């Protein structure tokens, strides 16, 4: 069960028990639409994907320090990752 999706789609949910379901703060069961939960896409997924593929900060700073072609090549690498994972997409 995608807990992050449930919490995002159902703000009244306080706890989730994979075997018993989702419950609000008073212990009342909250009805969950599993199709909606399964279709949910994390709006911040692009951030995680970008962070995983960006060159290391050390490499970026080194290229910036060197300037010229090194900086231009690094800019191209970073821009390629940004193009691959645009904001607001998975």
What are the pLDDT digits (tens) for 17-71? Answer: 998 999 999 999 999 999 999 999 899 899 999 999 999 999 999 999 999 999 9
Separation in Å, CA 23 to CA 6, 26, 42, 44, 60: 11, 8, 22, 25, 46
Same domain? For 9 and 30 the reply is: yes
How many distinct structural domains can be found in the chain? 2
Rounded to two decimals, what is the model's pTM?
Answer: 0.61
Containing domain of residue 53, as a range? 45-84
Same domain? For 31 and 57 the reply is: no
The verdict on residue 15 lying in a domain is yes
Structure-token match 């910036």, residue found: 64
The verdict on residue 11 lying in a domain is yes
Q: Which of 7, 65, 70, 72 is nearest to 36 (CA)?
A: 7
pLDDT of 88 over the 90 cut: no
Separation in Å, CA 33 to CA 16, 37, 40, 62, 77: 14, 6, 11, 49, 41
The verdict on residue 90 lying in a domain is no
């Amino acid at each position: 069960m995608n807990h992050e999706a449930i919490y995002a789609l159902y703000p009244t949910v306080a706890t989730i028990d994979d075997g018993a379901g989702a419950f609000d703060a008073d212990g009342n069961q909250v009805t969950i639409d599993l199709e909606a939960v399964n279709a949910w896409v994390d709006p911040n997924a692009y951030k995680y994907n970008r962070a995983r593929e960006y060159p290391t900060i050390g490499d970026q700073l080194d290229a910036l320090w060197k300037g010229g072609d090194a900086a231009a090549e690094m800019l191209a690498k970073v821009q390629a990752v940004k193009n691959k994972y645009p904001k607001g997409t998975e």
